[in-house]
Amino acid sequence: MEKNILLRAEHIDKRFGITHAVNDVSLTVNAGEIRGLIGENGSGKSTFSQMLCGIYTIGGGTFTLNGKELHVRNQVEANDAGVSIIVQETGTLSGLTVAENIFLGHEKPFIRHGIKNTPAMNREAQRLLDEYGFGRIRAGMMIDHYNFEDRKLVEIVKATYMKPLILIVDETTTALSQDGRMELYKIMDRTRADGRTVIFISHDLQEVLAHTDTVSVLRDGEYIDTVASADMTEDDLKRLMVGREIGSAYYRTDWGTPVSDEVVLRAENVTVPGLIRDVSFELHRGEILGFGGLSESGMHEIGKAVFGASWDRTGRVVLADGTEINDIPTAIAHSIAYTSKDRDNESVIVNETIRNNTVLPSIEDLAHGRLLIKRELDRFAKENAEKMQTKMQSTGQFVSDLSGGNKQKVVLARWIGKNSDILVLDSPTRGIDVKVKQAIYALMQELKEQGRSIIMISEELPELMGMADRILIVRDGSISGEYLRDPNLDEETLIAKMV
């Protein structure tokens, strides 16, 4: 392989608070190749690529493209330098036309003396759409009229029409139908044939092997290896992705402890259009039931559906006494707690005090008649914060000042205070350090011993294997596998059901 190095990443580093998302990654990418970039959720692949294209600032280290150091502050500057990206989420903007989206930030060729030549811009956008084979998308139409997949196709045009030296495709294929995928693969092949480079991020290892020349593997933010795709099998890649030592002292050490037969909650054919379909399971008293899968598998929606937080859910979630859970107030009134994966937006109110966050679901219980007594609220918040060993100055401290781990402790303290019998914990240890993790695992163990039931949704397989009595794997919105707690259970077995 006598190829020129197009991109050199040296000691690239990025932290988000205490989370070390990318840790001293150094690698090179050649011109005229398609490089796969794989790793488990949270391995740092998206953060790495988003630093390369200016979405995130570089925490440390340097990118050198074609011998020139990159200093880009946003996507437009990255585009000008020769790097573009198709992101995981929707990258188009509502309220703009298709053409405006394609040329957003690059309107200059259509502007003369400050006046934008909209017809010319529309014509050029339509020409590009036709050239890509997406002619049914009309350049002059508002983007809002198109569905998610069509908007992804617009994004593909937007990211590639200027023929970037490096095209990053970040988990885009899951949003596309087979036809859309084929179009994307063709574009990737053309880019390689032109002597330019594609960095292809995907969880579909089969797809990675079929469409890349080489694959780089990241794990826990660290660079592991780069291998030739032709020499690899899916199992080889999985081994590289997962290859860390499994098992830590802070997980449960009991094996074979029987779980009660008493069913406390039953989900029957739960479906949320586009996210999960026909999901059925039972949760037993004192059981930790784990849900694992890829981030977009639908497993996070299961937590919401159980808590009555999915507005378009069908199927039933029923408690042992026959109560159906169809909304959040009913769930809370029947002792169900929920912590979201999106902690800052869906679990805590960041611009509020620890006290007010903690008492929120217990206000009715703490009220004297219709009056709330501050001393009582303080006592409640303090008592539960101390139980969780939350690091704080006082319960009057704002949650926005706390670390991710302590925010999570506030969320848990809220539900501990509420004495919830069923806890739905979505990614309970996401982005938090080992010490807090340990505390949360210990708490889960304690709650289990008290006979409380826990649904733990997690993208981290070691914690699922370490903590759950039973693991359900979710793939494409359905349950694809069920495993009982077993010391011999390995990550590869679970991954095989996930991808």
Partner 1 sequence: MKEKLARLKTTRYYGFLLLAAMVVFFYAVFKILTPDNFGSPEHLLSYLQSSIIYAVGGCGLYFIVVMGLFDFSIGANVVFSSIVGVICSEHFGYAGFILGSLLCATLIGVLIGFLYNTLRVPSMIVTVGLMLIFESIAVFAAGGSKQTLAVDYRFFSAPPGSLILAALAFILMWFILKYTRVGTYCNAIGSNEFTAKNMGIDVKKYKLLGFILLHFFVGVMAILTVSYGTTMTALTGMSTMSRNFKPLMGTFFGVAFRKYGTPITAIVVGEFIISIIFNGFIALGAPTTIQNVVTGAALLMIVALTARGRKGSVVK
Number of C-alpha atoms within 13 angstroms, CB side, residue 488?
A: 1
Nearer to partner 1, 26 or 345 (CB): 345
**Distance of closest approach, residue 294 Cβ to partner 1, in angstroms:** 24
- Which residues of the shown chain bind partner 1 in the complex (CB under 8 A)? 54-55, 74-77, 91, 93-97, 100, 104-105, 107, 111, 114-118, 141-142, 144-145, 311-312
As a dihedral over the C-alpha atoms of residue 248, residue 254, residue 256, residue 262, rounded to 10 degrees, the angle is -110
Nearer to partner 1, 94 or 419 (CB): 94
Nearer to partner 1, 107 or 220 (CB): 107
**Distance of closest approach, residue 76 Cβ to partner 1, in angstroms:** 3
* Cβ atoms of residues 427 and 412 within 8 Å: no
**Distance of closest approach, residue 82 Cβ to partner 1, in angstroms:** 15
Can you read off the two tokens belonging to residue 389? 């060993």
Rg (CA), the chain: 25
Distance CA 206, CA 456 (A): 29
What strands lie across the sheet with 478-484, from one edge to the other?
A: 336-339, 422-426, 453-458, 288-293, 470-475, 478-484
Distance CA 466, CA 94 (A): 43
**Distance of closest approach, residue 19 Cβ to partner 1, in angstroms:** 19
Nearer to partner 1, 100 or 491 (CB): 100
Place of tokens 């600032």: 57
Nearer to partner 1, 255 or 311 (CB): 311
**Distance of closest approach, residue 126 Cβ to partner 1, in angstroms:** 16
**Distance of closest approach, residue 2 Cβ to partner 1, in angstroms:** 37
316 beta partners: 268
Nearer to partner 1, 55 or 349 (CB): 55
Can you read off the two tokens belonging to residue 193? 């044939």
Place of tokens 């139409």: 141
Nearer to partner 1, 309 or 495 (CB): 309
* Cβ atoms of residues 307 and 487 within 8 Å: no
Cα angle, residue 358 at apex, residues 355 and 360 outer, rounded to 5°: 105
Burial of 498 by CB count in 10 Å (0-12 exposed, 13-18 middle, 19+ buried)? buried
* Cβ atoms of residues 422 and 335 within 8 Å: yes
**Distance of closest approach, residue 273 Cβ to partner 1, in angstroms:** 11
Distance CA 240, CA 227 (A): 10
Tallying the residues shown for the chain, one arrives at 499
Distance CA 7, CA 4 (A): 9
Nearer to partner 1, 276 or 288 (CB): 276
Nearer to partner 1, 94 or 260 (CB): 94
**Distance of closest approach, residue 180 Cβ to partner 1, in angstroms:** 21
As a dihedral over the C-alpha atoms of residue 414, residue 418, residue 421, residue 424, rounded to 10 degrees, the angle is -30
Nearer to partner 1, 95 or 369 (CB): 95
**Distance of closest approach, residue 416 Cβ to partner 1, in angstroms:** 28
Can you read off the two tokens belonging to residue 43? 């391995």
Type and span of the H or E element at 412: helix 404-417
**Distance of closest approach, residue 93 Cβ to partner 1, in angstroms:** 4
Can you read off the two tokens belonging to residue 393? 């100055």
**Distance of closest approach, residue 95 Cβ to partner 1, in angstroms:** 4
Nearer to partner 1, 55 or 176 (CB): 55
Place of tokens 């205070």: 417
Cβ-based neighbour number of residue 230 at 10 Å: 9
